Structure 1
Amino acid sequence: MKQMLALAALAVVMASCNTNYEKTKSGLTYKIIHGKGGGSTLKAGMFAKLNIEYLLSPKDTILNSTYGKVPLFTAVDTSAKTAYSFMELLPKVRQGDSVIFSISVDSLKSKGAIPDYNEMFKRGDQIKCKMSILKTFTNENDIKADYEKEMAGEKDREVKEIKDYLSKKGIKAQETKNGAFVQIDNAGDAQKAQPGKVATIMYRGYLVDDNKRIFDTNMDSSKGHTDPLEVPVGQGQVIPGWEEALPLFGKGGKGKIFVPAMLAYGPQGSQGAIPPYANLIFDIEIRDVKDAPKQAAPTGQPGGMNNLTPEQIQQLQQQMQQQRGQQQDPRQQQAPR
């Protein structure tokens, strides 16, 4: 009897919840849980800091989540191009609110957000989403300052994770200026891979938390390429963690580089091969170090995390495309660039 009563109570709760769901003009099903933040609802031209998570049912596979990581920062856009995405919900909420919403994979296909059904996105599947509005801004400078603070905090967390890993493994490594760690097995000769030099490198890359899965290497043919990688040091053509570590090695040098995600591929990861926020390890061998050919001075680190603006954070459709992990040439997809 008690079990029957409990089931009946659950049915009433579920029915009550379902009646509170609404639909946007584009057909997005949602429910707002109002918080205590107060203030007015978001409007075009304002900015929002939020956490968001996407779970693909029926197995509730996490497609993407900012919870426990760097929140999403975005400008509020009320134009038609935001239809059937979380952006369509922003004008309905205020600071402190949370939203539960559901995205139909069939609708994504019909709207052209995904090209076709595949092994991940199947006919009839639903993407269950939750979103929490942490803070709202009216001034772009304020949101940029908050963004930079969050990024710095994330890097501090990652550096601590690597320190803990090294301590647990009993690995002695020296820390670079911004938080990469270098284990030097052989420093090589006196001519180091300083800026202005070209280093010829063999490498093997894997994840700190899964060091059995190699995501790229030229040390063997498993990833389809064995040519040495030539790196013009100091020109922003490799990840920042490499730029900081390479000057510690000369020709003949060997060792490992432990790179926090914010000095590697950050929140975006790399085309399915490297997950978002992944701390990385690289085995490296320096085959040669020579003078770089003369050329124009570098213009800076392209795509560096410190140059991102909130407006450049990916929208829902871009995130979905990324999660599909479309395959590209292995060297373009996986080399540490």
Structure 2
Amino acid sequence: MRRTLSFVAAGAALFFAACGNTGFKKTKSGLEYKIIAGKGNEKDSTFKAGEFVKFNVEFSVKRKGKSDTTLYTTYEGMPTYTMVDTSVRAQLSYMELIPLAKVGDSLDFKVQVDTLINRGLVNPNEIFSKGAVIEGHLTLLKKFKSEPDVNADAMAEFNLEKGKEFNTVKAYLADKKINATQTKDSLFVLVTNPGDQTMKADSGMVATIKYKGVLMKDGKVFDTNMDKSKNHDEPLTVNVGQHMVIPGWDLGLKNFGKGGKGQIFVPAFLGYGPRPNGAIPANSNLIFDIEVLDVKKDTAKKPQMPMMPQMQQGQGAH
């Protein structure tokens, strides 16, 4: 649960300030917002510091002449949770709005990217470009008094979302008549060539991979190194089992040996979950064509805390 709260807090670190739109109120710190009252609020439905809130949130960048870029969303997947914070740490973020509303309420918020740049909160780049606007929406679903209650609710939500994504992948395979094998980890793997089973791409091994990643929803290729259509065709080296890639890869690659080929069908909870990544929308089920060119023992000295790779904007991920 602490990891969940930390992740939410990190998302909340995208700060928001005023942008002067009609119909919006303003907090003392300068954050503009609009509350859309919910129906059937209970008597004890306001939020106090130290309580916990379950909510959905999304925010995106709108740029003139370009398509919107979603930065984060939970509306198409599992809701998220955090502790209510009324201190200065919450100022100029959507976290500041939670104590102003009630269970069932929704809120709109927005900010000019120029404001964030001027305050040194973001650096101008392709996404956070001058003149752009960040717009967001927040829905407060439930409140809790204790962390054990949050944990129980979060586990129920996770199992529900996991089941939805798993069933979506399973239905896709049935519809396409793909005879993939379900693993104990709720992954689906189609092995067309198992490769050398004495040199499997399992934990403790380094695998050299060619891949193509496809969105299951519409069949769009979001990244590949099998050709130069995504501007790179060099093989990818993966230290398997070191959490340097998405869980679906760490779990799926071990089904292939050197020279192996096949497909991995990854439910979103074993991929990127609610985090968009380049051309991959949030909560996307993914398909990867895999070719294992080589497998060797990992003899490199391990760092004490392996670092997660930073995926490049516009490229997919592994």
Q: For this structure pair, what is the TM-score category when the shorter chain's length is used for normalisation?
A: 0.7 to 0.9
User: 1:13 corresponds to which residue?
Assistant: none
1:73 equivalenced with 2:64 (yes/no): no
- Other structure's SS at 1:90 match: helix
Query: Which amino acid in the other structure matches residue 152 of structure 1?
Result: N
Amino acid at match of 2:287: I
Confirm whether residue 280 of structure 1 aligns to residue 283 of structure 2: no
What does the per-residue CA deviation read over 1:78-130, in whole Å, with 9 as the maximum and x for residues that have no partner? 2324323211111212323333444344433443334348677553x655543
Q: In the alignment, is residue 233 of structure 1 matched against residue 240 of structure 2?
A: yes
Q: Please show how residues 9-158 of structure 1 align to structure 2 within 5 Å.
A: 22-32=25-35, 33=37, 35=39, 36-39=41-44, 41-54=46-59, 61=68, 63=70, 64-116=72-124, 123=131, 127-158=134-165
Specify the SS of the correspondent of 1:242: helix
Q: Which runs of 5+ in 1 are unaligned?
A: 1-17, 304-325
For residues 120 and 289 of structure 1, do their structure 2 counterparts lie closer, same or farther at Cα, with a shift above 3 Å needed? closer
Shift in Å, 1:294: 8.1
Matched residues in 1 for 2:106 and 2:127: separation? Answer: 31
Contact 1:236–1:300 (Cα < 8 Å) also in 2:
no
Aligned AA (1:235): Q
User: Is contact 1:198–1:231 with CA below 8 Å preserved after alignment?
Assistant: yes
Task: Say if 1:177 and 1:244, in contact at 8 Å, map to a contact too.
Answer: no
- Percent of residue pairs identical: 46
Superimposed CA distance per residue, residues 141-162 of structure 1 (whole angstroms, 9 cap, x where no aligned partner) = 3223322332232222111121
Query: In the superposition, relative to structure 1, how do residues 292 and 39 fare at CA in structure 2: closer, same or farther (>3 Å)?
Result: same
Distance 1:83 1:205 in 2: 39
Cα pair 1:55 1:127 within 8 Å, conserved: yes
Q: What's the TM-score once normalised by structure 2's chain length?
A: 0.76
Q: Is the 8 A contact 1:235 1:300 kept in 2?
A: no
Amino acid at match of 1:202: K
Equivalent residue of 2:291, what SS? strand
Superposition deviation, residue 334 in structure 1: 4.2
Whether the aligned pair in 2 keeps the contact of 1:197 and 1:233 (CA below 8 Å) is yes
Q: Cα 1:75–1:255, aligned 2, differ >3 Å: closer, same or farther?
A: same
Q: Which has the higher Rg, Structure 1 or Structure 2?
A: 1
Q: Deviations over 1:162-214 (max 9, x none)?
A: 11222222211111112211111112233233334333322122221232323
Asked if residue 252 in structure 1 is aligned to residue 255 in structure 2, the reply is no
With normalisation by structure 1, the TM-score equals: 0.72
Trace 1:289-300 onto structure 2 (pairs within 5 A).
289-293=295-299
The one-letter code of the counterpart of 1:53 is E
Deviations 1:301-330 (A, max 9, x none): 977xxxxxxxxxxxxxxxxxxxxxx98498
Change (3 A) 1:160 1:327: closer
SS in 2 for 1:144: helix
Check if 1:220 corresponds to 2:223.
no
Distance 1:50 1:257, change over 3 A: same
Q: Name which of structure 1's ranges 235-244 and 223-232 shifts more when overlaid on structure 2.
A: 223-232
- CA distance 1:301–1:49, shift in 2 (3 Å): farther
Moved more, 85-94 or 110-119: 110-119
Unaligned 5+ residue runs, structure 2?
1-21
Say what the alpha-carbon RMSD is for the aligned residues. Answer: 3.4
Q: Of Structure 1 and Structure 2, which has the larger fraction of its residues in helix? A: 1
**Structure 2 vs 1, CA of residues 94 and 278 (structure 1 numbering), >3 Å: closer, same or farther?**
same
Q: For the structure 1 residues 289 and 82, does the alpha-carbon distance in structure 2 shift closer, same or farther, using more than 3 Å as the test? A: same
Q: Does 1:176 align with 2:183?
A: yes
Q: How many residues align?
A: 290
- Identify which of 166, 170, 179 aligns with 1:163: 170
Amino acid at match of 2:80: L
Instruction: Tell me by how many angstroms 1:258 deviates.
Output: 0.9
Secondary structure at 1:268 match in 2: coil
